[in-house]
Amino acid sequence: MAYSFPEEVLEHVFSFLTSDKDRNAVCLVCKSWYEIERWCRRRIFVGNCYAVSPEIVIRRFPEVRAVEIKGKPHFADFNLVPEGWGAYVYPWVAAMSAAYPLLEEIKLKRMVVTDESLELISKSFKNFKVLVLSSCEGFTTDGLASIAANCRNLRELDLRESEVEDLSGHWLSHFPDNYTSLVSLNISCLGSEVSFSALERLVARSPNLRTLRLNRAVPLEKLPNLLRRAPQLVELGTGAYSAEIRSDTYSNLAEAFSACKQLKGLSGFWDVVPSYLPAMLHVCSGITSLNLSYATIQSPDLVQLVTQCRNLQRLWVLDYIEDSGLEALAASCKDLQELRVFPSDPFGAVPNVSLTEQGLVSVSEGCPKLQSVLYFCRQMSNAALVAIARNRPKLIRFRLCILEPRVPDYLTLEPLDTGFGAIVENCKELRRLSLSGLLTDRVFKYIGTHAKKLEMLSIAFAGDSDLGLHHVLSGCESLRKLEIRDCPFGDKALLANAAKLETMRSLWMSSCSVSYGACKLLGQKLPRLNVEVIDERGPPDSRPESCPVERLYVYRTVSGRRVDMPGFVWTMDEDASLRFS
Amino acid sequence: MERSAAAFENDLNLKATELRLGLPGTDNEPDHQQSSSSSSSQLIKNNKRSCSEMDGARQTGQQQESGAPAPKAQVVGWPPVRNYRKNVLEQQKKPESDTGSGMFVKVSMDGAPYLRKIDLKFYKNYLDLLKALENMFKCTIGVYSEREGYNGSEYAPTYEDKDGDWMLVGDVPWDMFVTSCRRLRIMKGSEAKGLACL
C-alpha cells in the first residue's frame, strides 16, 4: 500500500490536532500514522498517575514537551483518603529527567511533591517554563528556592491551593537579578510573609507579568507599590484587603487600580474592610472573573461590588451574598456563566445567612448563559430544581450540596428525586453532577435513563439498594468518574456491571456495603483493573469475607498493580489469596 | 510505698488546688491546634493528619467553649469543603471566638445612676450601636465625623481599648473596634471636646 503523503506532511497536519481524543483517533488509522503521531505528540495528559507508568509513556512518546498528571482521587480533598496513600511525583520526574531534556511544562494535581523532586526539575530541564502545582503537598519553600534559582526561562509558577511548609520567605530572592521572563505567579496559598522588597523588584523587572496572585501576608498598604510596577496585569489576587482607615492609603490604592486598564480577573480579598472596596470601582467594568470566596463581607457592600461588574462571567462567593444579592446579580450580570456559592459556616447548626434555593432560582432565571453551578445551601425543593432545569437546559455542571445529609424537599417532605430527575432530563449536555439531600433509587433510574453525556457523578448519603448503582453503571454511557460515599450499594450491582469499570477512569466507594469477597472476585475477573481496598482496620482477610470494606478504589491501568502501596492499601488480584497466607 | 504515694496524691486533691499543668479553669489537655504556635501550614498539617471524626469533634469542642450553639456531630469530609477553605474561614473567625461567648462590655454614662451591659456582637456596625445606645440611655449622640468627632452633640461615645487608652468611638473599622473595645463610656459633650479635637 503506497503512502499518500510524506511523513513531514503528515506530521505538519497532525500538529494542528491539539485534543488527545483526536490524536488517539489518528493513531488507530494505521501503523504508519501511529508511528508518525507518537513521535510528534508534545502534550501528555495522565488522568490517573497509576493508570500508566512513566516508562510506558516515555517509550511510546519520546518527544514530549508538556506533561499534566493527576494523582489522588477527588475525595482526598475531603479527608477521605488517609495520609500516605501515594501519588508521588518523584518517579515521574526521575524518569523524565533522563528522557525529556527539553521538557517545558509540568502540571500536577493532588500529588505528593517533595523538595527533592522540585530540585530535580529545576536542574534537569534547561528550557523549563511552566510549573503548576494544584492541591499538591509535601514540599517546602526550599523546593521553591531551587526552582527560582535554576529555572532561567520560567514563565509560570502557580501553587494554587497546595500545602507548602513555610520555612522562610526568602525563597523569592533566589530569582536572579537578570531573570525577567515571569508571566504568571500564584503564591496565594503561602502562609507566611515573602520578602516584599524581593517581590517588588521581581515585579518591576517582569514586563510580561500578566497574573499575580499574592498571599494573605501582603498588606493592603503595599499593594499600590506592586500595581504601579505592573499596570499591564490581567489577573490580580490581592493580599489581605484590610488596613486602618486612612485617606492616603485609600487614594493610593484607587489611583493604582485606575492605572490597571487590562484587569479581567480579581481574587484574594482576605479580611476585607468594606471601606476600601470602592477603590476598585474603576476596574469593575472590565472584570470577567471574580473570586470573593474568602471575603467575609456582608451583603450590602458585597452586592454593590458584584453588581458593578456588569461583564462578569465567573463568580465565586460566600453565602453572605444571600438570596437578595443573587437576585441583584441576576439582574446586573447577564454574561454570567459560572457561579459558585460557598458556605461561610458549614458546621453551624443554624443558618447564619438568608441563602436558600431561591437565590439559585433567581440566577437561573436571569442569566441566560449560566452553565456551571456549585451551590451550598440548607434547603431545597423539587419545584426549585424543576424550575432551574427548565430555565437552563444548557447546564454543563451542576453540583448541589445541601449541608445536612438526607434532607427532603422542605415544602413537601418528599425525596428530591423528581427535582434532580428534571435536571438530567432537561440538561442534555450535562457532564458533571453532584447530588445531595434525600434521594431514593428512583433518582438513579432517571440518571441512568437520561444522563447520557454525564462524565462525572458524585453521590453521598443516597439510594436504597443496589438497584440505584446498577441504574447508573448500566445507563450512563459517558461515565468516566464515579465517586460514592455512605450509600447502601453493595456487591450485586458492582459485579453485574464489572465490565463497565474498564470503560471508566475510576470508581471510588467509601462507607458502602461492598464486601471483601466481592472485591476479590472483581480483582480476579478483571485483570486490567486495579481493585484496591483501603482499610485502616488491618488486613481484610482478618475479617470474614462478607465484611464490608472501608473504602474501595477501582481504576483501569496498563501498568499492573502499584509497587508503592502503604500498609493500609491492599490490591485484589489473582495473587491476592497467595499473598495473604 | 508507691501505692500509698498515689493515695496520698488523691487525698491532696491536686485538681482542686490547681497544682497541675494547664491553664486554670480548663479540664482537658490544651488542644493541639491552640497550643501550636507555628505557621498556618502547620495548622493545616495537623488537620490533615488526624483525619477522623475526632478532629471534627475537637473543632466542635472549640466552638462549644465559646458559647455558640453546639453544632451537630460532624461526619468526616461532610459537607465537602476543602481543608484549605475551612482553615481560612476559621482563621478569619478566630478573633471572635477567642474572647468567649458574646462580647459583653459595660456601658457607663456620665450622670447615670448605674451602668448597663451590651453584647457588641449583636450589632452590625456603628450606626446600629449608636442608635441602641441612644435608645438605652435616652440621649442624643449624633453623627460621627473624622475631623470633628461628635462635635455639637449632647453626648459623645468613648471606649477603653486593649491598651487601656480612652478612644473616640468611630475612628477605626467596626471589626477592629469590636475586638479591641473593653468598655464604653458615654461622655458629656462638653467633656468630650478634648478628644474630638485630636
Q: What is the pLDDT of residues B95-117, one digit of tens each?
A: 543 444 467 888 998 888 888 88
Question: Prior bond to B79 cis, omega within 30?
Answer: yes
Which residues, listed in sequence order, are joined to residue A456 by a DSSP beta bridge?
A432, A481
Contact call for A79 and B48, based on CB within 8 A: yes
* Cα–Cα distance list, A359 to A103, A266, A365 (Å): 47, 23, 10
B14, three cell numbers: 491536686
| Cell numbers for A166 | 513555610
Query: Among B121, B139, B136, which Cα is nearest to B181's?
Result: B121
Tens digits of residue pLDDT in A414-452: 999 999 999 999 999 999 999 999 999 999 999 999 999
Are B141 and B157 in contact, with CB atoms under 8 Å apart? yes
Give the contacts of A57 (CB within 8 A, at least 6 positions apart).
Answer: A44, A46, A64
Among B42, B59, B64, B84, the residue to mutate for chain A (most A Cβ within 10 A): B84
Residue A347 has its nearest CB partner, among B74, B84, B85, at B74
User: CB-based burial of residue A410 (10 Å sphere; 0-12 exposed, 13-18 middle, 19+ buried)?
Assistant: middle
Q: What are the domain boundaries of chain B?
A: 104-193
Q: Which residues of B touch A342 (CB under 8 A)?
A: 81, 85
Q: Sort out which chain B residues have CB atoms less than 8 A from A317's CB and list them.
A: none
Residues 77-106 of A with CB under 8 A from B: 77-80, 82-83
Sort out which chain A residues have CB atoms less than 8 A from B69's CB and list them: 348-350
- Sign for the CA dihedral angle at A513, A519, A525, A527 comes to positive
User: What is this structure's pTM?
Assistant: 0.78
Q: Is the dihedral of CA A349, A354, A357, A359 positive or negative?
A: negative
Pairwise CB contact (< 8 Å): B173 & A245: yes
Please say whether the beta carbons of A555 and A47 come within 8 A: no
Cβ atoms < 10 Å from Cβ of A303: 21
CA B17 to mean position of chain CA atoms: 28
Inter-chain touch A349–B69, beta carbons under 8 Å = yes
Q: Least CA distance to A166: which residue of chain B?
A: B41
State the smallest CA–CA distance between residue A173 and chain B in angstroms. Answer: 21
Q: Which fold has domain B104-193?
A: Ubiquitin-like (UB roll) (3.10.20)
Task: Work out the number of other CB atoms within 10 angstroms of the CB of residue A90.
Answer: 16
Q: Which residues of chain B are within 8 Å of residue A293 when distances are taken between CB atoms?
A: 85
The dihedral built from the CA positions of residue A544, A546, A547 and A549, taken in this order, carries a sign that is: positive
Of A165, A189, A345, the CB nearest to B84: A189
* Closest residue in chain B to residue A348, using alpha carbons only: B71
The DSSP H or E segment spanning A260 is none
CA torsion A555→A559→A564→A566, rounded to 10°? 20
Rounded distance, CA A14 to CA A37, Å?
A: 7
How many alpha carbons fall within 13 Å on the CB side of residue B50?
A: 14
Q: Is the pLDDT of residue B61 over 50?
A: no
User: Within an 8 Å CB–CB cutoff, is residue B15 touching chain A?
Assistant: no
Task: List all residues of chain A from 396 to 435 with a beta carbon under 8 Å from chain B.
Answer: 401, 403, 405
CA-nearest of B81, B34, B46, B94 to A347 is B81
Residues of B in contact with A380 (CB under 8 A): none
In the numeric block, which cell numbers belong to residue A296? 467575609
Dihedral of CA B76/B82/B87/B89: which sign?
Answer: negative
Instruction: Give me A147's grid cell.
Output: 526552582
CA–CA distance from A433 to each of A48, A398, A407 (Å)?
Answer: 20, 5, 18
Q: Is the peptide bond before A351 cis (omega within 30 degrees of 0)?
A: no
Following CA atoms A428, A430, A434, A436 in sequence, which dihedral angle do they give, to the nearest 10 degrees? -20
HSE, CB side, 13 Å, CA atoms: give it for residue B112: 17
Give phi and psi for B139, each to the nearest 5: -140, 175
Contacts of A350 in chain B (CB under 8 A): 69
Those residues with Cβ within 8 angstroms of residue A568's Cβ, 6 or more apart along the chain or in another chain? A82, A534, A535, A536
Domains and CATH numbers, chain A: 1-41 (1.20.1280.50)
pLDDT in tens, chain A (581 residues): 556 778 889 999 999 998 999 999 999 999 999 999 999 999 999 999 999 999 999 999 999 999 999 999 999 999 999 999 999 999 999 999 999 999 999 999 999 999 999 999 999 999 999 999 999 999 999 999 999 999 999 999 999 999 999 888 789 999 999 999 999 999 999 988 889 999 999 999 999 999 999 999 999 999 999 999 999 999 999 999 988 888 888 999 999 999 999 999 999 999 888 889 999 988 999 999 999 999 988 878 899 999 999 999 999 999 999 999 999 999 999 999 999 999 999 988 889 999 999 999 999 999 999 999 999 999 999 999 999 999 999 999 999 999 999 999 999 999 999 999 999 999 999 999 999 999 999 999 999 999 999 999 999 999 999 999 999 999 999 999 999 999 999 999 999 999 999 999 999 999 999 999 999 999 999 999 999 999 999 999 899 999 999 999 999 999 999 999 999 999 998 665 555 54
